């Protein structure tokens, strides 16, 4: 995916295995850092394990709600009136409970 975006001349940053606070820090940086104020659009991709309810697990086991991230981008003055694409690629977790005998 990174190569695709780069081939389209879209500035790309990749971060892996982020904790809850790191995900929010990177999202806030993108929304409020003047470095991105001249962007004509935004694409935010988040790949993680999660639920079918729009929740993603972070590296430290906490949950991030996709709707909260979308709300953050909607509040950004740097991105106001600009197209915003969100790709949340979620692999649902199957929780298994075992009974100790």
CB 32 within 8 A of CB 76: yes
d(CA 26, CA 22): 6
* Fold adopted by 2-92: Rossmann fold (3.40.50)
Q: Partners of 45 in the beta sheet? A: 87
* Residue-range domain boundaries for the chain: 2-92
Predicted local confidence at residue 85, as pLDDT: 92
Predicted local confidence at residue 5, as pLDDT: 87
Q: Partners of 48 in the beta sheet? A: 90
10-residue block means of pLDDT along the chain (101 residues)?
Answer: 88 92 94 85 90 88 94 92 91 65 60
């Amino acid at each position: 995916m990174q190569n695709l975006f780069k081939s389209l001349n879209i500035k790309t940053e990749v971060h892996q295995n982020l904790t809850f606070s790191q995900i929010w820090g990177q999202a806030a940086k993108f929304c409020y850092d003047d470095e991105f104020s001249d962007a004509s659009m935004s694409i935010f991709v988040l790949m993680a394990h999660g639920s079918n309810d729009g929740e993603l697990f972070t590296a430290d086991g906490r949950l991030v709600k996709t709707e909260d991230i979308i709300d953050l981008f909607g509040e950004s003055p740097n991105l106001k009136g600009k197209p915003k694409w969100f790709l949340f690629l979620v692999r649902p977790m199957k929780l298994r409970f075992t009974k100790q005998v």
